[in-house]
Amino acid sequence: MEKKPRSVKDKRYEEKHKAERKAKSLSWGTSVPRETAENINAFLKKYGYTKIELIEAGYKALLDEAAARP
């Protein structure tokens, strides 16, 4: 029996679980200027935060700000 390359197995797995992944997560596919992205990445690395934590904290801050508006 011939072993299949890892890439073939990975692709088969991804195709099989694509709908499950799409239902679970969302990717916005957005961009920011390179200098801004590099500054953000440096900050995250320095303080040990993840991009998810950044997004969640920013979202919470905006929710709080919106709630304070008249």
pTM of the predicted model as reported, rounded to 2 decimal places: 0.67
Q: Does residue 3 or residue 17 have the better pLDDT?
A: 17
Rounded distance between C-alpha atoms, residue 4 and residue 53, angstroms: 38
Rounded distance between C-alpha atoms, residue 44 and residue 47, angstroms: 5
Q: 1 pLDDT band (50/70/90 cuts)? A: low
Mean pLDDT of 46-65: 97
Q: 39 pLDDT band (50/70/90 cuts)? A: very high
Q: Do the Cβ atoms of 42 and 54 come closer than 8 Å?
A: no
